[in-house]
Structure 1
């Protein structure tokens, strides 16, 4: 669960960084990432709610007050959401500029 959350969070953070923004390492930062994903169109309102649920679920798992075990269906929904977030974030990245290979010495 933490890995799903981290993948989505880092994808959104990459776009924020590209746009000149940075999320503070402070309480509420992960929630700000979820809100930013909605603001820039990486997720719609339904995806925003799901991403926020993932954020809360990750928190509950990492800082348990009780044992949390998501169902297989929940895992499938989360995997689909994170795949969508990564894909949407990737589309917002500029095309990489790959230099041509160096000339090969002739034999």
Structure 2
């Protein structure tokens, strides 16, 4: 879930939601820095985020593991693989629709 853009967008979505929302923040991500837009925006609490499109394998990630999954994806690209990375961002509701479109059994 966490990069500064998502942190702001998901927090705003949680505040505006009519449903109860628990937002977990990983303390080791507090030092991340990123420019975020000045314009108004919110992120959808119900949708996973396609962080990196790819062809060979799908990596599902959540919270701090997004950072590690992106490092692993970069290493994989250097070895000739093309992984996609999906940040599920929310455990409930769980975006089974996006995940189902990208996972092949």
More strand by share: 2
Q: TM-score, normalising length from structure 1?
A: 0.25
TM-score, normalisation: structure 2: 0.26
Task: Give the helix-richer structure, 1 or 2.
Answer: 1
The structure having more radius of gyration, on CA atoms, is 1
Relative contact order higher in (CA < 8 Å, ≥ 6 apart): 1
